[in-house]
Amino acid sequence: MNTPAPSECPLPRDRYTNREISWLDFNARVLASAEDPRTPLLERVKFLAIFASNLDEFYMVRVAGLKRRQSMGLLARSADGLTAAEQLAVINEKAQGLVHRHIACFTDDVLPALRAEGIDIISHAQLSDPEKERMDAYFRQKVFPVLTPLAVDPAHPFPYISGRSLNLAVVIREPGSKLERFARVKIPPNVDRFVGLGGDRFLPLESLIEANLDGLFPGMEVVAHHPFRVTRNADLDVEEDRDEDLLQALERELARRRFGPAVRLEVTDTMDQKTLDLLTREIDIDPGDVLVVPGLLDLSSLWAIFAVDRPDLKDDPYVPGSPARLAKGDSFFDVLRGGDVLLHHPYDSFATTTQKFIEQAAADPHVLAIKQTLYRTSGDSPIVQALISAAEAGKQVVVLGEIKARFDEEANISWARALERAGCHVVYGIVGLKTHCKTALVVRQEGGSLRRYCHIGTGNYNPKTARLYEDLGLLTADPDVGADLTDLFNVLTGYSRQQQYRKLLVAPHGVRSGLIERIEREAEHARSGREAHIIIKSNHIVDEASIDALYRASQDGVRVDLVIRTNCSVRPGVPGLSENIRVRSIVGRFLEHSRVAYFRNAGEPEIFIGSADLMHRNLDRRVEVLVRVDDQYAKTRITRMIRRLMDDDIIGWDLQPDGTWINSADRSDGVMVDAQVEQIQRIGTGA
C-alpha cells in the first residue's frame, strides 16, 4: 500500500483558532504597548485611547453580529467549532480581564507618571477652594444650560440611551422621604470631556457635573450618582436588492443605527446593585454583557491628554519626504514613462506623491479623464478638491464612491454629493459588494495616442490616515496595468462581467483562487527540490481555504512566514501540520496596514500588493485588487522590507502553537530593533 504524502492527509479539525478571541489578543498587544515603560509616556496615553476605541468598535460590530445570530437561532458554528452563545461567553470573560488591565495601567501606572511630569487629571474634590469656585462658575455658564435631567416615573418613561454616550444614573428623593427616584443626566458630547484647569491639569466633566447635581435637582436630596455607558449595534443592514436607490437606502439605515439594540453596558465598580438591576432591565441587556470598570469610563477620550504640547514625552517628530525620482520636481508623467515608482507611506509623504499625482492630473491640459475609487477619505480631502477642479475644467471624472464604508458612511455621502454637484460621474458601488480597492487611472493625450497612468495601493486615499498608517502604493505607466484598470472601471460603472486580467488579481472572483494557485505552485517547487518560500503580510487571515492551502504547503516543505496585524486563525508550528509556518504581529508607532504576497517561485520571485485581506468579506463580498509588481527595484525594496520583519532581532509578537503570543523583546538578551524606527533611519540616510 502506498503511503500518502503529508499534504494529502486529512487536516485536523482543530486547525483554526477563534477569530474573535484572536481579535481580543490583538487589542491586548495594543494594551501591552501602553503598559510598556519603554514607550514614551504620552504615546502610552495614545495606546490607551486606541485600545478603548478598538474595543468599542469590536462590540458594535463583531459582538453585535454574534448576538444577532444568537437571537435568530442560527446554529452555525465558528471555524473552531463554537456556537455564538459560547463565543459571547468567552468574549465577555476575556474582555472583562482586559478592561481591568486597561484601567489599572491608566490609574496605577500612567496617571502617576503623568502627574510626575506636571500633567494631571483630578476630581472636583481635589480642587483648591479658588479652583472650585472657578470651575463651578464654568459649570453654570458653559455646562448647566445644555444639561437635561430626565426623570423616570409613571409619567416619564425610561429615556433612550444613545450609543457610546457617557451618562450619570442619579438616585434622588425628597427630604425626609424614603421613596427613591431615578434620573438620567447625559454628559454633553459637545463640551470638552476634560476641562482645562490651567497648565496641564484637567478635570473630568462628569466629576464637575456630579459636584453640581444639587443645581439640577433643587429641593431634592441626591442620594447617589454613578457613571454608565451603553454600546449599541452599529452594523448596517442595507437591503440593496429591494431598494432601487442605494444612497437613499443607506441614509435610511443610518437613521436607524442610533437605535440599534444594546450590546454592552459599562458601569463603575461603585454602582449599587439596585441601580445596576434597573439599568440592565430598562436598557434590555443581559447581565453577562455588563463590564465593570474600576475607574474612569470611556478612556477613548484620552486623545485630549495626548494632545498636550509635550514633545519630550512623545515619539520624535518625523517629516516624510519623497522618493528620489519624484523629489526633483519633474512632471510625474515624465517620471513614470521612465519606470514605476514604489511608495511606502508614511515614510514617503502622501501629499507629495499620491495626492500630487492626482493634483497634477487635474491641472494638466493634456489629461482627458481621471477615474478613481474612494473608500475612506476626509471631507476636506485635497484629492476630492482636485477631482472637483478636474471636472470643472471639463475633464471626464469618474468616482466609485463606496458609501457603505463602515462608520464613514455619512462623510462619504457628503463628499460624493459635492463631486456630483461639480459634474463628476459618481457611482455608489455595486449591489451586493463593497468596492474596497485603492485604484486611480489617468488617461492623457500624448501626441497622436493616449497613454494611461495608474496608482494602485494598499491604503485609502486619506491624507490624515496616510500619516499614521503604513501602506504601499505603486505608480506606473505599464500598459498592461492601464488596460486592466480600464477593464476594471468598466466592471464598476457598467455591466461588464470580466473576471480575467493581465497583471491584476481581482476579487470576488480572482484573489483567493489566484493566491491559492501560487501557494500550490510553491508546494510543487518544494516537492521537486526547488526554492520555495511564501511571505504574506496582511491585516487579517481567517479564510479557511487559504489557511488550508498554507498548511498543505508547509507539509510539503515550503517555508511560510506570515506578518499578520490583527485577526489570525492560523496555528503555526504544530507538528505534522504547520512546522514550517511562522506568524508574527508588529504593533508600533504606525498602524501596519500594507498587504503583500511574496512567492519565491524557484528563484523568480512574484510579488503582489493591494487592498485584500485574507477574509471571507474581502475575498467574496468586496471588489479588491492586487497588482503584480514587476519593477525590479520595487521588488527588491518590498522583499527586503517583508523579510526584515521576520528577523529575530526585530521587535514583534510571535504566535505560539497553543495560540498565545510572546513579545520577542521580552525573551531576547540581544539588542532588539524597532522595524519602523529602522525604516525612518534608513530613509533619513538615503539607504
**pLDDT (0 to 100) of residue 245:** 52
Q: Does pLDDT of 302 surpass 80?
A: yes
Residues labelled catalytic:
436
Cα–Cα distance, 665 to 669 (Å, whole number): 8
- Would you tell me the crossing angle of helices 409-421 and 382-392 to the nearest 10 degrees? 20
- Would you tell me the crossing angle of helices 19-35 and 84-104 to the nearest 10 degrees? 0
Cα–Cα distance, 409 to 416 (Å, whole number): 10
Q: Tens digit of pLDDT for each residue in 504-517? A: 999 999 999 999 99
Pairing of strands 341-345, 469-476: antiparallel
Span 2-6, mean pLDDT?
A: 57
* pLDDT level of residue 426 (50, 70, 90 thresholds): confident
Task: For residue 472, count CB atoms less than 10 angstroms from its CB and return exposed for 0-12, middle for 13-18, buried for 19 or more.
Answer: buried
Span 238-263, mean pLDDT?
A: 56
Which strand (E) or helix (H) includes residue 304?
A: helix 303-306
**pLDDT (0 to 100) of residue 410:** 66
Q: Tens digit of pLDDT for each residue in 574-612? A: 999 999 999 999 999 999 999 999 999 999 999 999 999
Instruction: Pick the most confident of 25-39, 85-99, 221-235.
Output: 25-39
Q: Does pLDDT of 685 surpass 90?
A: no
Average pLDDT taken over every residue of the chain: 90
Q: Tens digit of pLDDT for each residue in 435-444? A: 999 999 999 9
* pLDDT level of residue 241 (50, 70, 90 thresholds): very low
* pLDDT level of residue 359 (50, 70, 90 thresholds): very high
Which carries the bigger pLDDT value, residue 406 or residue 55?
55
**Ramachandran angles phi, psi of 185, nearest 5°:** -120, 120
Span 75-88, mean pLDDT?
A: 82
Q: Tens digit of pLDDT for each residue in 126-181? A: 999 999 999 999 999 999 999 999 988 766 788 889 899 999 999 999 998 889 99
Q: Does pLDDT of 416 surpass 90?
A: no
Q: Tens digit of pLDDT for each residue in 521-564? A: 999 999 999 999 999 999 999 999 999 999 999 999 999 999 99
Nearest alpha-carbon partner for 568 in 588, 552, 549, 583: 583
In DSSP notation, 25-56 reads HHHHHHHHHHH-TTS-HHHHHHHHHHHHHHHH
State the Cα angle at 302 between 299 and 308, rounded to 5°: 165
- Residue where the block lists cell 467574496: 620
Residues 531, 602: contact at Cβ < 8 Å?
yes
**270 three-class SS:** coil
**pLDDT (0 to 100) of residue 136:** 95
Q: Does pLDDT of 684 surpass 60?
A: no
- Write the single-letter amino acid at 640: R
Among the ranges given (102-111, 164-173, 415-424, 536-545), the one the predictor scored with the smallest mean pLDDT: 415-424
Which strand (E) or helix (H) includes residue 123?
A: none
**pLDDT (0 to 100) of residue 434:** 87
**pLDDT (0 to 100) of residue 595:** 98
CA terminus-to-terminus distance, the chain: 57
**8 three-class SS:** helix
- Write the single-letter amino acid at 6: P
Among the ranges given (3-12, 425-434, 642-651), the one the predictor scored with the smallest mean pLDDT: 3-12
**pLDDT (0 to 100) of residue 252:** 53
Q: Does pLDDT of 8 surpass 90?
A: no
Single pTM value for the model: 0.92
Cα–Cα distance, 246 to 258 (Å, whole number): 19
Nearest alpha-carbon partner for 644 in 571, 561, 566, 587: 561
